Chains A and B, each alone.
Chain A
Amino acid sequence: MTTNTAETKQEHGMSDAGYIRIAIILAAITGLEVSTYYVDFGVLFLPALLIMMVIKFVMVVSYFMHLKFDNKIFSFLFYAGLVLAVGVYAAFLATFKFFIQ
């Protein structure tokens, strides 16, 4: 029932080596993000930066915070707060014509 690999895994998580792999990917994405400050990405600059930000966010929440492996009610609680925040403050910014400058 128990192999070495199985023993190193948490009940609902990943192995330590898996966490280190995730951290390396996050560090690489951070490096790419910082490179946008020095290299001209043209029209891709803003979308690329926002996409990388979202990827890093989702990776930390899914793997380091175990949301991918945990009960879905936790995902609901967290993403409900997040979606509510994004919706409310997007509407707030829209009233100040933030998106049409």
Chain B
Amino acid sequence: MTDVAHDHASSTGISNVKLGMWAFLGSECLLFGGLISTYMLYRGRVSGGPRPSQIFDIPFTSVSSFVLLMSSLTMVLAVSAAHKEDDRKTNLWLTVTALLGATFVGGQVYEFTAFYKEGLGFSTSLFGSSFYTLTGFHGVHVTVGIIMLMSLVGILKRSSVPGKKAEVVEMIGLYWHFVDIVWIIIFTLVYLIPV
């Protein structure tokens, strides 16, 4: 029974878990596509509140983006170590990835606080609502990723991972990289392209 429960391969030889994860990521494209489109539509509707160019701190956000981008490197190194069955390096890289993710989220909290103090609340304007909704949803995704990473580190230390250990690390890696590619788009369309 246990063997059956741990067997994720289908008759096609493709892992069901991986197939499910890619289908989920494909559907996430639609979620973020909607949020990004709504922001693009409303980014000029400031209703007397601050304009994007007045509040965005590009050097700060560039550093945050760089941190998240590098967390993708540490994540892929964790996946690589998991495939080599090197538990020590897997745990190390997963922890570093979570720390980089936490740095990014901390930067986002700081940024939101700064924007609020400069007069951009959630209901100040359509720009504010769509901006906070888009970047907030992304921040929640990063936070969920950090929780998954730290849970995985704890579970790996108890060596009680169901199924193939490397595949579990790889699935969380896929989610983490997706969060990174969404930020690649947000950074360009929201921060670098002026209204």
| A contact residues vs B (CB 8 Å cutoff) | 10-11, 13, 16, 19-20, 22-23, 26-27, 30, 33-34, 36-37, 46, 49-50, 52-53, 56-57, 60-61, 63-66, 71, 73-74, 77-82, 84-86, 88-89, 92-93, 96, 98
Interface pair B29/A85, CB less than 8 Å apart? yes
- Complex: A19 Cα to B173 Cα, angstroms: 14
Highest count of chain A CB atoms <10 Å: which of B36, B58, B62: B62
Question: Which residues on B sit within 8 Å (CB–CB) of A11?
Answer: 83
Interface pair B184/A89, CB less than 8 Å apart? no
A-B CB pair tally, cutoff 8 Å:
121
Question: Which residues on B sit within 8 Å (CB–CB) of A77?
Answer: 19, 22-23, 25-26
B67-75, B105-113, B119-127, B149-157 - the one binding chain A = B67-75
| B contact residues vs A (CB 8 Å cutoff) | 14, 18-19, 22-23, 25-30, 32-34, 36-37, 40-41, 58, 62, 65-66, 69-70, 72-73, 75-77, 79-80, 83-84, 170, 173-174, 177-178, 180-181, 184-185, 187-189, 192-193
A4 smallest CB distance to B (angstroms) = 13
Main secondary structure of the interface of A (DSSP, over half): helix
Interface pair B193/A57, CB less than 8 Å apart? no
Main secondary structure of the interface of B (DSSP, over half): helix
- Complex: A71 Cα to B19 Cα, angstroms: 10
Q: Which 10 A-B pairs have the closest CB atoms?
A: A81-B26, A85-B33, A89-B37, A23-B73, A53-B188, A81-B29, A85-B29, A77-B22, A74-B22, A10-B83
Question: Which residues on A sit within 8 Å (CB–CB) of B14?
Answer: 71, 73
Question: Which residues on B sit within 8 Å (CB–CB) of A84?
Answer: 29-30
Interface pair A60/B177, CB less than 8 Å apart? yes
